[in-house]
């Protein structure tokens, strides 16, 4: 484990780097100067898959490539005492953002939102927020509360959505059709979200929790966001990816096979071309 004092410094530097990301407007980032984008799906603390993705990204040798990660926490990996180890991935993402502040992006998902707001989220009758805190206490002892507060600042600063110059929109998910009439994209461009944004019915909650992939829903969402194609995570995929309609790609990087997408951002792109950019770990 990193020294807690050094980790707290790294987490604060990462917060500052997220705020200073070029192209940022509130919690939305226009990915500037990118020739290509490598996007991962949900990772949920899978450090092995993260390392493999990092090797593929090869950011030092590809300065025009940008790397998008999402849904880092609440995974299946445990400490011997039972706590969740997925906080380790947040540590690595923070360090990577400090090393490559222009190239690295972290989209928060519904699990980060649940941890930040304290809203119960469970799997197999296990409360994941509590399990996450157990893991942080195992790793950082009497400084766990400080570290957890720093994680929450990181989550509160990380982007909710990304846009590319060739009209691809990236977010963890999308609102259901029933909420789209009231969904206001301007909420995402505010520097700080409100409590009302983060509860059921709010714009941020809808963006990270929705599972409506019907063609008409995706088309209406993309029209609101002024984009042509959508890349999301959130929904588990047996193949590591899914294309539930002709404008969306869902990525899942947790298990095996795990998928990613490395696509050009400097020219027009069709949905079939986007699907041809999928890779498997």
3-state secondary structure 39-58: EEEECCCCHHHHHHHHHHHC
The answer to whether residue 160 scores a pLDDT higher than 80 is yes
Is the CA virtual torsion 197, 200, 201, 205 positive or negative? positive
Q: Taking all residues of the chain, what is their mean pLDDT, rounded to a whole number?
A: 96
pLDDT band, very low/low/confident/very high, at 230 (cuts 50, 70, 90):
very high
Query: Which tokens hold the place of 113?
Result: 């939102």
Residue 206: the pLDDT is: 97
Percentage of the chain beyond pLDDT 90 is: 94
Averaged pLDDT for residues 85-96 = 98
Position 281 confidence tier, pLDDT thresholds 50, 70, 90: very high
Q: Answer positive or negative: Cα dihedral of 279, 257, 94, 198.
A: positive
126 band by pLDDT with thresholds 50, 70 and 90: confident
User: Could you give the CA distance from residue 12 to residue 33 in angstroms, rounded to a whole number?
Assistant: 25
Whether residue 105 contacts residue 159, with contact meaning beta carbons closer than 8 Å, is answered with yes
The pLDDT of residue 121: 87
Q: Give the integer Cα–Cα distance in Å for 151 and 4.
A: 12
Q: Specify the pLDDT at position 78.
A: 95
pLDDT digits (tens, 9 = 90+) for 179-208: 999 999 999 999 989 999 999 999 999 999
- The band of 265, judged by pLDDT with boundaries at 50, 70 and 90, is very high
pLDDT score at 2 = 74
**Which residue has better confidence, 249 or 120?**
249
Q: In the predicted model, is pLDDT for residue 146 greater than 90?
A: yes
Residue 122 predicted with pLDDT over 90:
no
Structure tokens at 90: 């947040």
Instruction: Reply yes or no on whether the pLDDT at 115 is more than 90.
Output: yes
pLDDT band (50, 70, 90) for residue 124: confident
Q: What architecture is domain 4-280?
A: 4-Layer Sandwich (3.60)
pTM over 0.95: yes
**pLDDT surpassing 90 at residue 32:** no
Q: How confident is the model at residue 212 (pLDDT cuts 50, 70, 90)?
A: very high
């Amino acid at each position: 484990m990193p020294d807690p004092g050094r980790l707290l410094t790294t987490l604060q530097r990462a917060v500052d780097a997220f705020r200073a990301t070029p192209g940022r407007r509130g919690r939305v980032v226009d990915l500037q100067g990118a020739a290509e984008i490598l996007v991962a799906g949900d990772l949920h603390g899978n450090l092995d898959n993260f390392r493999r993705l990092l090797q593929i990204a090869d950011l030092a040798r590809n300065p025009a490539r940008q790397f998008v990660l999402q849904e880092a926490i609440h995974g299946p990996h445990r400490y011997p005492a039972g706590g969740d180890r997925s906080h380790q991935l947040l540590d690595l993402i923070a360090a990577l953002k400090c090393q490559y502040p222009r190239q690295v992006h972290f989209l928060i998902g519904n699990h980060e939102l649940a941890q930040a707001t304290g809203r119960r989220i469970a799997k197999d009758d296990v409360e994941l927020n509590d399990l996450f805190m157990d893991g942080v206490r195992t790793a950082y002892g009497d400084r766990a509360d400080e570290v957890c507060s720093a994680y929450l600042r990181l989550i509160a600063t990380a982007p909710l959505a990304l846009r590319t110059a060739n009209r691809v929109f990236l977010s963890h998910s999308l609102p259901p059709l029933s909420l789209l009439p009231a969904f206001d994209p301007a909420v995402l461009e505010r520097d700080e979200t409100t409590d009302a944004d983060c509860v059921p019915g709010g714009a941020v909650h809808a963006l990270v929790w929705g599972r409506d992939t019907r063609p008409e829903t995706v088309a209406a969402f993309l029209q609101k966001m002024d984009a042509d194609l959508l890349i999301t995570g959130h929904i588990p995929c047996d193949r590591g990816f899914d294309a539930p309609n002709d404008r969306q790609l869902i990525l899942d990087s947790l298990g095996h096979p795990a998928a990613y997408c490395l696509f050009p951002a400097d020219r027009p792109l069709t949905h079939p071309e986007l699907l041809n950019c999928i890779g498997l770990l």
